[in-house]
Homo-oligomer: A and B are copies of this chain.
Amino acid sequence: MNETPLVNPEVVSMVGDWKGYVEAKMGFRNHWYPVRFSKELDEGAIEVIELLGEKLLIKRIEGKVYAMRDRCLHRGVPLSRKPDCYTKDTITCWYHGYTYRFQTGELVNILAVPDSRLIKRRKIVTYPVQEAKGLIFVFLGDEDEVHDLKKDVPPGFLDDDLMVLGKHRIVNSNWRLGAENGFDGLHIFIHKDTTLRHYRTFNFPIGHTPLPGAVQLVEDADGPKGVTDDFAQHTPVWDGVIDGEVVVSGPRSTAVKGTSAAAGTSIWLPGVLKVENFPVGGLIQFEWYVPLDGERHLYVQTIGKPCSTDGERRTFANEFETTWKPHGLDGFNADDIWAREVTEPFYADDYGWVDEMLCEPDETILEWRRLASRHGRGIQQKSDLR
């Protein structure tokens, strides 16, 4: 063995019933991940994406999107460095003319060696692609593991009347620090100065502890696997006290004194959060922490709203652009992005997983780590990148 292992084996050996989670530094293989919004990929356009350490090309051909490894079989060069698409459904390697069909990955010709026996006998890796709710999902995994998309998205996300809008950006932290930051009930402490506080129903404690029964596991065979945390069954903390003095308090709306805007959160494999009644009642935030490699994730942020008329849809689209995107996805979540990136160095050499000192409410995060270890369908390894 000569390659440095992806994850320090000493650390893996030191954790208990969530070893698989520690090993999944580059993500869980054999799951569906959103990679772009549908509207970002026009007919005929090619885009290079990263997913679980792999470089892929996606292309839309006659409306449908296809995904193929962005590396020529011959000499391993990226096809994307000079994409020669002589026909609409093939791409030809700029170096020696190896030509692949997007739909199947088949080597259809080698332009410089048209009589090679390799032709039609070799395939480049391709992955299934599906579009839903305006997102392009790629199944990053093995052919015999493909399953229904609905098993990899939170309940409700595919509902017919749900309109989904969003954005994405790259975050310089491991995907798990994204997932844990999102699901972590305590991190609301960092949001105490959010401009969302100026919205009527926005009330936010500085902390809150789950009571027995707040946290539930969802492990039905036919559905997504996740952990839910019901904020109605939490004890909120409104004031922070040091040496007997109140030094900081959670934001409450100046208009209406009410409960926290969010009704609860849930985290689902392969790494997607659902926040109910957020940023305000009636909306749902869904966000993915898509592993790009071991050090970065694509933060796919969406907000969904049930809409039954075109008018409702126009109103939501307008609200999204003027309010929820700037104050929620950009402003509020900027604190989260920053927190994940600052946390990254402690976990980068894996020792953070054993050196951390979790407190009682972090038990919800441990439930997520255990669930992910039980139900993750495969651990992406360095050898999968070759």
Give A193-219 interface residues, CB cut-off 8 Å to B: 206-209
Q: Number of residues in A with C-beta < 8 Å to the partner?
A: 72
Question: Is the Cβ of B113 less than 8 Å from the Cβ of A186?
Answer: yes
Pick the contact of A112: B11, B95, B186 (CB < 8 A). B186
B113 x A360 contact (CB < 8 A): yes
Given A77-B342, A209-B113, A242-B87, is A96 in contact with B356 using a C-beta cutoff of 8 Å?
Answer: no
Which of chain B's residues have a CB closer than 8 A to the CB of A74? 356-359
- Set B78, B113, B122, B356: member contacting A361, Cβ < 8 A: B113
A18 contacts B by Cβ under 8 Å: no
Known A-B contacts A207-B111, A346-B76, A359-B113; the reply to A99 vs B242 at CB < 8 A is yes
Residues in B whose Cβ lies below 8 Å from that of A351: 386
Assuming the A-B contacts A10-B1, A360-B113, are A346 and B86 also in contact, with contact meaning beta carbons closer than 8 angstroms in the complex? no
Residues of the B chain whose Cβ atoms lie less than 8 Å from the Cβ of A8: 2-3
Among B95, B190, B247, the residue within 8 A (CB) of A87 is B247
Q: Is the CB of B92 within 8 A of A242?
A: yes
The answer to whether A97 and B189 touch (CB under 8 A), given A8-B3, A87-B245, is yes
Q: Which of B2, B5, B90, B355 contacts A242 (CB 8 A)?
A: B90
Chain B residue contacts of A207, Cβ below 8 A: 96-97, 110-114
Residue-by-residue, is A235-248 near B (CB-CB < 8 Å gives 1, otherwise 0)?
Answer: 00100111101011
A111 with B77, Cβ < 8 A, contacts A2-B10, A90-B242, A189-B96 known = no
Residues of A participating in the B interface, judged by any CB pair closer than 8 Å: 1-3, 5, 8-11, 71, 73-78, 81, 86-87, 90, 92, 94-97, 99, 108-118, 122, 184, 186-190, 206-209, 237, 240-243, 245, 247-248, 339, 342-343, 345-347, 349, 351-352, 355-361, 386
